[in-house]
A and B are shown apart, each in its own frame.
Chain A
Amino acid sequence: MSPWFGGMVPQGAETEMSPERGRRVAWVATSILPFEPGVRAWLARSGFPTDQADDFIQEAYCKLSALASVEHIKRPDAYFFQTVRSLVADSLRHARVIRIESVTEIDLLPVYSDEPSPEQALSARQELAQVLGLIAALPGRCREVLALRKIDGMSQKDIATRLGITETMVENDVVKGMRIISTALKSGNGSENASRRLRTNGPVRLRRRD
């Protein structure tokens, strides 16, 4: 089975791994994920605690998932940021579960620099090194399971047979490995270029600009 989709199912935009969905997933992998650390850094600078930042990020991915097309998006990093920013603005407006006392106006949040970045061109190579490094650093059996799945192209079932463990243990190792990688990708472990994309105009000043 193709690792592209982790095996997918018909019907329904999200659950189906249609060619369009496959392209969307690939687009997110190459054009959005690398910029997540920068957007998270912005959320942190804006005073949001991690769990709340996680909510915004997940909701932003949901918006990306629902888009009819992404072809019009020239700057995925800026688009992703704007998506998060408008979610933040909405939540400030509705003042639902807001736990920040200091910031009450979206305009007072740090700004995002829209200048093109020379580092962007380097990102593919850096990402490769980053992801491969992350896998190589996984704990023993977890790394072996991912290697057999991805390098040897073995099914989870065959991996279970080869390693003499249950299929459930293989699945758990896959989840564990992905979780470690997922966590590392949040902080941009090893890829500075993404966070450097976001610049503030200095420290946040809680001053209204009348």
Chain B
Amino acid sequence: MGQYDSAAEIEAAALTWVARLDRARDPDELHLELAGWLANDPRRKGAFLRAQAIWVKIDRAALAESHANLPARQTRRWAMAGGGAGLLAASSVGAWFALVGRPVNTAQGEVRHIPLPDGSSLDLNTDSQIEVGMGRKHRGVQLHRGEAWFQVEKNPQRPFVVEAGRARIMAVGTAFSVRRFDLAVEVLVTEGVVLAWLLGREAQAVRLEAGDKGRLDPDGAHRLVSAAAEIDRRLAWRVGKIDLADETLEDAVSEFNRYNRRKLRIKGSAVASRRLYGVFRIDDPEGFATSVHYALGIPVEPQDDQIVIG
């Protein structure tokens, strides 16, 4: 009780806490210590909130400029050169701050087009999360969850690497999609060439060309040849469609359920293996169910929170 720190001391300590937590590999370990510090004086709680707000303010302010998509060269100059040049380039840094080091999410059913600072862009599919990291020698995106299609601006000096768990997919200037499953990662190449490998097994990297499908699982990286037409169909989500050509009803249903809160459910295994053709709106499970009813003669029962097929 006896201690009465000055506001300036408390502020310095609060800022140090934010930096310490940022540095910590396991911030959980600092929890008790932080809670103990905060408990001693209400001003500490206030100073800590303010310190956190300053820490995020840079990113937050930059959101206002997140569409200012300026060349990477200028931002590098800001980062590494002297103060004068820094001010000059400051206005172009927004896009970087908005994206880099901050996870970007999509909700269920949401598809987002995200321009990257180097001129590349990506389409982030439903229920997905990425984090962008840009360095001098490489460009990188971590796919934490879900699926994304990348259009990479050519730059052989700075390869573009997607990380999905232990899987690595590298491109220098091309277009491809990466989707994470529980145990595997699927790569579809729409243009150019990519190299795919598992972390620690770089020697077994596979080369995938336009029209190829790759799969990375605990066994390694595999190249599965597939028709370009299939790839276009599989990426129809970019235009809000699900394109089916001989898929089973079971697969089609699980695809719709990725995007919609109102779930489709198959009753009885007999109908699950029936096969389907057609292009459907991604956000219209009812329309799909109706088509199934007419095309396959399977009963469909819309309920409040789900649609039962079969």
A-side interface residues toward B, CB under 8 Å? 1-12, 14-15, 24-26, 28-30, 32-33, 51, 54-55, 57-66, 124-125, 127-133, 135-138, 140, 143-144, 147-157, 167, 170-172, 174-175, 178-179, 181-182, 185
Contact = CB atoms under 8 A, between A and B. Distances in A.
A118 B158 CA distance: 45
A166 B188 CA distance: 42
7 smallest A-B Cβ distances: which pairs? A136-B86, A54-B7, A153-B101, A61-B46, A62-B46, A147-B79, A58-B43
A24 B22 CA distance: 18
A54 B8 contact: yes
A150 B97 contact: yes
A150 B58 contact: yes
Interface in B92-117: 93-94, 96-97, 100-103
B129 to A, nearest CB: 11
B293 interface: no
B131 interface: yes
A179 B93 contact: no
Interface of B: 6-8, 10-12, 15-16, 18-25, 27-28, 30-31, 34-35, 38, 42-62, 64-65, 75, 78-80, 82-83, 86-87, 89-91, 93-94, 96-97, 100-103, 131-136
Nearest to A66: B45
Contact of A128 (B55, B62, B136): B62
B19 A133 contact: no
Contact of A131 (B48, B49, B61): B61
Main secondary structure of the interface of B (DSSP, over half): helix
B54 A178 contact: yes
Contacts of B12: 175, 179
B80 A147 contact: yes
A175 B35 CA distance: 20
Contacts of B96: 151
Given A9-B28, A153-B132, A182-B11, A58 B50 contact: yes
A7 B21 contact: yes
Given A153-B100, A182-B11, A6 B53 contact: no
Given A62-B45, A144-B79, A151-B96, 9 more contacts: A28-B50, A30-B57, A51-B7, A60-B46, A65-B48, A133-B90, A153-B132, A154-B135, A182-B11
